[in-house]
Amino acid sequence: MTSASRRTPRLHIVTGAPGTGKTAIIQQLGPAIHRMPEPARAVIADYRLIEGPDAGQPPVEVFVDLLLMRSIEQHEAAQKLDGLVVFDRGVPDCIAYAEWLGTDRGPSVDAADRYRYRHEVLVMRPWEDIYTTDDERTMTFDMVVGSQEVVEGVYQRLGYALVEVPRGPIDERAAFVEAFVGSE
């Protein structure tokens, strides 16, 4: 079975660099759509819960490994759901994180071949007007732009087609996402 034949049309990814509005838009989607939350924030929060509030970021190898584990768990859980599922990032994002952070991308590459999503992936591009930092998101906007290039490159190499979510008010962006995922 090829990767293309394992793509799952009802599993949708919304991806993009940190701070592009993915989570806010996904939270606005209607009740008929299942949501899989962004795993990176959960990994960082869990790490700080275990190591202490002043622990900072986990070591990059630990972060990418935990991120991949959570992403696979989410994909497997989504397979058991009826209806449409929207992921706030997917397994391919683990490759992007590994590349961006300079750690082993091999396990993520293997997983991305096994855990597939709809061929068209919604992408949200950096938008300086909405970008903010917080305890988990500490990147400068220039770093965000650089990470966006890595994310998009990974998805394209894996054979996904990128569909940009247009900029605009959050309700319009959410309506675009909802219409897109409901179109197949």
CATH number of domain containing 111: 3.40.50.300
Predicted confidence (pLDDT) per residue in 100-152, tens digit: 999 999 999 999 999 999 999 999 999 988 888 776 677 788 888 999 999 99
pLDDT above 80 for 98: yes
Q: How many domains does the chain have?
A: 1
Mean pLDDT of 8-34: 92
pLDDT given for residue 1 in this prediction: 36
Expressed as residue numbers, the domain containing 56 is: 3-181
Q: Confidence class of residue 174 from pLDDT cuts 50, 70 and 90?
A: very high
Mean pLDDT of 163-175: 96
Three-class SS string for the chain? CCHHHHCCCCEEEEECCCCCCHHHHHHCCCCCCEEECCHHHHHHHHHHHHHCCCCCCCCHHHHHHHHHHHHHHHHHHHHCCCCCEEEECCHHHHHHHHHHHCCCCHHHHHHHHHCCCCCEEEECCCCCCCCCCCCCCCCCHHHHHHHHHHHHHHHHHCCCEEEECCCCCHHHHHHHHHHHHCCC
Q: What is the pTM of this model?
A: 0.89
